[in-house]
Amino acid sequence: MTEHVDVAGMLDAVGPRLRALRTRRDFTLTELSARTGISVSTLSRLESGERRASLDLLADRDGLRRRT
C-alpha cells in the first residue's frame, strides 16, 4: 500500500512557515540569508508567495534548525 504525500501542498506552505519561524526567532531576512546561503530576495519572494519553494532550494539549508 502506497501513501500519497502532498508534496506540492507542503512546498506551498513553506513561505508562511518560513516567515513565522523567522519572526518568532527574531531574525531579519539579512540574518536568515547569512545563515542559509539563500539570498534576501529569494527569501522575501518565498515568504510573500511570489516564489514557490523547490526541494533543491531547501536541500541542506538548516539556518532555522535548532542545534543541540
**pLDDT on residue 48:** 94
- Residues 38-63: tens digit of each pLDDT: 899 999 999 999 998 876 776 656 55
Show me where the domains of the chain are located.
7-58
**pLDDT on residue 33:** 94
Pairwise CA distance, residues 7 & 41, whole Å: 24
**pLDDT on residue 54:** 78
Cβ neighbors of 14 (< 8 A, separation 6 or more) are 46, 52, 53, 58
The CATH H-level superfamily of 7-58 is lambda repressor-like DNA-binding domains (1.10.260.40)
**pLDDT on residue 2:** 64
Range in 4-8, 13-17, 29-33, 60-64 with the lowest mean pLDDT: 60-64
